[in-house]
């Protein structure tokens, strides 16, 4: 059994497409759980109409908390995390699942096409911060650390709880998995998602993301010092 967990906040335009493509990719033999992080639009209704089970957070809690609640609720042996806005490109999820199902990896991370230069430009500072954190703490040079598309067995994700809050969840999962000795690999997937714009909302989003990513790295630096001092 495969569970797909999709955190969503105000994703009325794309959530149905993402849910439908996820189900199509696995021929319907999966459970899809959308964790609605207290959306102000009809994300919840659109997800339910597309066939997903919806877990609605009682208040805005952030991406990390939403993923954690979805993982606790799901029943599948293999769990796939997907961003709500990847739409039809969720058809690529088999590429993430195969290395887990065949025991070639403990966690897979989707690496998006390099030709998407707009994504690299928009997330440059945050990506460099995440890259530096993983390299310093884990001696690893992964390139898709901020990718929200990843898969692992449920018991692996449970061992990595509690997840870092907010947008720090991906870098936190990556560092924690590597430090616990899990095999983490990147998988090329022809996926895409909504690009953050060069406007006030976009800059606000990137600022929050940078702060939460940096905070997750700092917390793990402190933990390492505490462990080294024992």
pLDDT 10s digits, 135-183: 999 999 999 999 999 999 999 999 999 999 999 999 999 999 999 999 9
Return d(Cα 159, Cα 227) in angstroms, integer: 18
pLDDT at residue number 120: 46
Point out the least confidently predicted range of 34-48, 57-71, 126-140, 216-230.
216-230
**Mean pLDDT score of the chain, rounded to an integer?**
92
Domain residues for the domain of 76 are 2-228
Supply the CATH number for residue 112's domain: 3.90.550.10
Res 117 pLDDT > 50: no
Q: Is 7 helix (H, G, I), strand (E, B) or coil?
A: strand
Total of domains in the chain: 1
- Residue 163 CA from chain centroid, whole number: 11
Res 118 pLDDT > 50: no
User: Distance of CA 176 to CAs 140, 151, 153, 159, 215, Å?
Assistant: 12, 15, 15, 9, 14
Rg (CA), the chain: 17
Closest CA to 153 of 137, 130, 172, 177: 177
Enter the pTM of the model.
0.92
- As a whole-number percent, the residues of the chain with pLDDT over 90 amount to 83
Give the strand order in the sheet containing 150-153. Answer: 53-56, 30-36, 2-8, 78-81, 150-153, 107-111, 184-188
Point out the least confidently predicted range of 128-132, 161-165, 198-202.
198-202
């Amino acid at each position: 059994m495969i569970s797909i967990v999709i955190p969503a906040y105000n994703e009325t335009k794309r959530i149905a497409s993402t849910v439908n493509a996820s189900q199509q990719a696995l021929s319907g033999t999966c459970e899809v759980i959308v964790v609605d992080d207290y959306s102000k639009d009809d994300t919840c209704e659109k997800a339910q109409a597309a066939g997903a089970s919806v877990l609605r957070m009682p208040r805005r809690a952030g991406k990390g908390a939403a993923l954690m609640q979805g993982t606790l609720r799901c029943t599948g042996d293999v769990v796939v995390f997907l961003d709500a806005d990847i739409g039809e490109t969720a058809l690529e999820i088999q590429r993430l699942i195969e290395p887990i199902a065949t025991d070639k990896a403990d966690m897979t991370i989707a690496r998006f096409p390099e030709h998407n230069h707009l994504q690299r430009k928009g997330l440059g500072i945050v990506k460099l911060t995440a890259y530096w954190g993983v390299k310093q703490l884990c001696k690893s040079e992964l390139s898709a650390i901020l990718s929200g598309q990843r898969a692992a067995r449920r018991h692996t994700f449970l061992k990595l709880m509690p997840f870092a809050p907010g947008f720090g969840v991906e870098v936190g999962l990556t560092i924690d998995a590597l430090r616990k000795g899990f095999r983490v690999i990147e998988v090329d997937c022809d996926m895409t998602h909504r690009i953050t714009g060069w406007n006030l909302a976009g800059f606000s989003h990137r600022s929050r993301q940078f702060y939460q990513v940096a905070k997750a790295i700092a917390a793990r630096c402190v933990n390492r010092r505490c462990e080294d001092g024992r």
